[in-house]
Amino acid sequence: MRNIVVEDLKQMPLEKQRIEIVERKGLGHPDYMCDAIMDQISIRLSKEYMEKAGTILHHNVDKCLLVAGETEPRFDGGIVKQPMLFVFGDRATSEINGEKIDVEGIAVNVAKEWFKANMRFVDPEKHVRYQVELKPGSVGLVDIFKRKGKVLGANDTSAAVGYAPMTRTEKIVLKTEQFLNSKEFKQRFPESGEDIKVMGSRNNNHLNLTISMAFVDRYISSEEEYFEKKAKILEETHGFVRVNTDFDKVNVELNTLDVRGRGIDGTYLTVLGTSADSGDSGQVGRGNRVNGLISLNRPFCSEAAAGKNPVSHVGKIYNVLTYKIAQHVHEEVPEVEEVYIWLLSRIGSPIDQPAIAAAQVIMKGNNSLKKVRHGIKEVLDYELGNIDKFCMELAQGKIPIC
């Protein structure tokens, strides 16, 4: 029997609270790039281990640093004076029964493939240097992978929390960044770089979005043209937000640091479409939570999910699974207005047997928790009972985590 607790949460649903703040770091943000690349390395390593050993072996590639380079933006196109530096860190199994695994080559190749597929102006051969610091794991943690069973033991004592449903503010913040970084938008506005951050704040039924967008200097010939193109993008964005929300009032601002009359110094221009080309470094874990958002009104796990192994590291597994369970509960039990799912592991214990699995729910109207408690427990029990399938979906990259 699993230790499952269901309780009535006596608080106002976030949608009905006065103040809400939500952030989304977009595709070309340095922190997003670190999360995305390191998780792709975990997926590629998992595939390599499955092919060579028939199982996923110990790895936690969840530490990295993207060191900003140095550029000189200019109207009509600037220059890269010093490339970015991508440092890969932590642990990965590099030998199977005497056969070497090219962990360093896998890491670098995955990073280059990601840059080529996602960043239009970053040449992974010219604009990025690579430093791989992935070492073998500790004896104790490696041994977890040698133990038999349907599921592995947790490699850490850790806790995670997820929630459902998303609020209107959360949904529009996520949708706006995805719209601005869509291929269709880039075709119409090629001057829009991939480094986009959307900060949303709601005061009652009034929404304010502050957007930071790195412009690409080769498409801008003058200060006047910069502000003309910025105005068109702002108008397009405002129209998108109004169509996709039902707030009483919507205000959208773009690149609020800009100042007319200061030339290139008063604009947000980059050479490569990301602040990482000269202005801002990145790290794993400083970006979005696993549902793609940084929601300041919500509780969230302190663990960085990106790059952790998908079969024993609860910092990844529980982090993502709590959101999946919360969504399942919300869909399965219509009497629930809002739900928070908590999972706590105990190092060494099977990951399908958490020390605590808890659901905190806010009921709709006068609905009774007593009537739905059993149904909620059944959802948690079902999801934990199928955690092995869930882990394989993580390993195959079927579930996005940033």
Residue 304 domain flag: yes
Q: According to the model, what pLDDT value does residue 1 have? A: 83
User: Please, which pLDDT band fits residue 136 given cuts at 50, 70 and 90?
Assistant: confident
Residues 137 and 69 in one domain: yes
User: Please, which pLDDT band fits residue 137 given cuts at 50, 70 and 90?
Assistant: confident
Q: According to the model, what pLDDT value does residue 109 have? A: 98
Residue 21 domain flag: no
240 φ/ψ angles, rounded to the nearest 5 degrees: -60, -45
User: Please, which pLDDT band fits residue 149 given cuts at 50, 70 and 90?
Assistant: confident
Residue 321 domain flag: yes
User: Please, which pLDDT band fits residue 143 given cuts at 50, 70 and 90?
Assistant: low
Q: According to the model, what pLDDT value does residue 140 have? A: 54
* Residues of the chain above pLDDT 90, percent: 93
pLDDT at 212 over 60: yes
User: Please, which pLDDT band fits residue 203 given cuts at 50, 70 and 90?
Assistant: very high
Domain end residue (candidates: 220, 252, 283): 283
Residues 160 and 300 in one domain: yes
Residues 62 and 128 in one domain: yes
pLDDT at 73 over 70: yes
Residues 34 and 119 in one domain: yes
Residues 263 and 333 in one domain: no
Q: The domain spanning residue 261 has which CATH number?
A: 3.30.300.340
Residues 6+ apart with CB under 8 A from 157: 344, 345, 346, 347
Q: According to the model, what pLDDT value does residue 233 have? A: 98
Per-residue model confidence as pLDDT tens digits over 233-265:
999 999 999 999 999 999 999 999 999 999 999
Tokens of 49: 């281990």
Residues 136 and 204 in one domain: no
Tokens of 156: 């850490």
Q: According to the model, what pLDDT value does residue 216 have? A: 98
Residue 400 domain flag: no
pLDDT at 330 over 90: yes
- The average pLDDT across 19-25 equals 98
Q: Is the dihedral of CA 21, 170, 384, 361 positive or negative?
A: positive
Q: How far apart are CA 96 and CA 108, in angstroms?
A: 20
Q: According to the model, what pLDDT value does residue 373 have? A: 97
355 φ/ψ angles, rounded to the nearest 5 degrees: -60, -35
Which residues span the domain enclosing 116? Answer: 30-144
User: Please, which pLDDT band fits residue 117 given cuts at 50, 70 and 90?
Assistant: very high
Residue 354 domain flag: yes
Are the C-beta atoms of residues 219 and 232 closer than 8 Å to each other? no
Residues 6+ apart with CB under 8 A from 298: 14, 163
Number of domains, the chain: 3
Q: The domain spanning residue 383 has which CATH number?
A: 3.30.300.280
Q: According to the model, what pLDDT value does residue 265 have? A: 96
User: Please, which pLDDT band fits residue 150 given cuts at 50, 70 and 90?
Assistant: confident
Per-residue model confidence as pLDDT tens digits over 76-95:
999 999 999 999 999 999 99
Name the pTM for this structure. 0.95
Whole-angstrom CA distances from 309 to 51, 56, 57, 59, 385 are 16, 8, 8, 6, 19
Tokens of 103: 């962990």
Give the residue, 50 or 149, on which the prediction is more confident: 50
Give me the amino acid identity at 160: A
Are the C-beta atoms of residues 252 and 240 closer than 8 Å to each other? no
Q: According to the model, what pLDDT value does residue 138 have? A: 63
pLDDT at 6 over 80: yes
Residues 189 and 291 in one domain: no
Q: According to the model, what pLDDT value does residue 148 have? A: 65
* Residues of the chain above pLDDT 70, percent: 98
Domain end residue (candidates: 234, 266, 283): 283
pLDDT at 139 over 80: no
Residues 129 and 214 in one domain: no
pLDDT at 33 over 90: yes
Per-residue model confidence as pLDDT tens digits over 361-397:
999 999 999 999 999 999 999 999 999 999 999 999 9
Are the C-beta atoms of residues 92 and 64 closer than 8 Å to each other? no
Number of separate helices (H) and strands (E) present in the chain: 9, 18
Per-residue model confidence as pLDDT tens digits over 161-193:
999 999 999 999 999 999 999 999 999 999 999
Residue 24 domain flag: no
